[in-house]
């Protein structure tokens, strides 16, 4: 069933693979033009090609979301390509550090905060004026279940995702009367390349990852994509400043 999208253009960062690719494809399947954004040019071009092969419209733009000049240029290019950006999914992020707080490094902190927090902030900084000028829009940011509670051995990652929720809620309040909605998705463990790197080499870790979800398995990228599209759709017109858990019941335990 369609989600009654009124806009025409969606922009997805971190779209070279995983959740970002699945969401870009889901937007395209709803008939939207998609701006595929990533630092990985090969993966980003592949996502755009997959969309076009399926009959959709997509263009890839390379961007390092931690660099303001690149984010500004990327948004300018997106508007030049399609005239507007109705929906933005700020999904670019990097993975957990897997060490206790006192064992973390400054380099880890700067890298994780740079992509996961500064990247989201910069993207919204340049998306919001576009949406203000066109009279509205919807933004979804990727947070995490680690952003709504404690996360041992991933304190920097957790802090970055708590920050994403803070940015999301603050922007939602600031722009609520301007017809711009800002929400977040908070996935638990999802079957992505990042997950496979962390868990699949060790079957015991994979079993633990499945068991931490009451549904008995890890999530699928398409399930997160569905949540993102819902938050962007007219069906969520009264939803803003919300962090939607996509966690198989993990936080309900």
**Residue among 82, 87, 126, 157 flagged as catalytic:** 157
- Helix-helix angle 68-82:119-134, to 10 degrees: 30
DSSP code, position 247: S
Among 188, 181, 147, which residue's Cα sits nearest to residue 164? 147
Among 21, 78, 83, which residue's Cα sits nearest to residue 48? 21
Q: Which region, left, alpha or beta, applies to residue 246 given φ > 0 means left and ψ of -120 to 50 means alpha?
A: beta
For residue 175, indicate whether it is catalytic.
no
Q: For residues 58-94, b (16+ Cβ closer than 10 Å) or e, as one string?
A: bbbbbbbbbbeebbeebbebbbeebebbbbbbbbbbb
Report the alpha-carbon distance of residue 54 to residue 134 in Å, rounded: 29
Both tokens of residue 159? 């802090």
**Which of the residues are catalytic?**
157
């Amino acid at each position: 069933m369609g989600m009654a999208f009124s806009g025409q253009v969606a922009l997805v960062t971190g779209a070279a693979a995983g959740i970002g690719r699945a969401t870009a494809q889901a937007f395209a399947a709803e008939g939207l033009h998609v701006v595929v954004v990533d630092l990985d040019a090969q993966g980003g071009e592949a996502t755009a090609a997959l969309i076009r092969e399926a009959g959709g419209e997509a263009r890839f733009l390379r961007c390092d979301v931690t660099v303001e000049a690149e984010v500004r240029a990327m948004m300018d290019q997106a508007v030049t390509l399609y005239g507007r950006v109705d929906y933005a999914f700020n999904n670019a992020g990097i993975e957990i550090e897997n060490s206790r707080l006192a064992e973390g490094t400054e380099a880890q902190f700067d890298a994780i905060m740079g992509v996961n927090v500064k990247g989201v902030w910069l993207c919204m900084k340049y998306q919001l004026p576009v949406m203000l000028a066109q009279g509205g829009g919807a933004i979804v940011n990727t947070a995490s279940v680690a952003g709504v509670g404690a996360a041992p051995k991933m304190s920097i990652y957790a802090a970055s995702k708590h920050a994403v929720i803070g940015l999301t809620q603050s922007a939602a309040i600031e722009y609520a009367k301007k017809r711009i909605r800002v929400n977040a998705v908070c996935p638990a463990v999802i079957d992505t390349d990042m997950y496979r790197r962390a868990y699949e080499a060790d079957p015991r870790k994979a079993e633990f990852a499945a068991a931490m979800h009451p549904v008995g398995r890890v999530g699928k990228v398409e399930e997160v994509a569905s949540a993102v599209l819902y938050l962007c759709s007219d069906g969520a017109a009264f939803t803003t400043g919300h962090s939607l858990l996509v966690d198989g019941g993990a936080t309900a335990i």
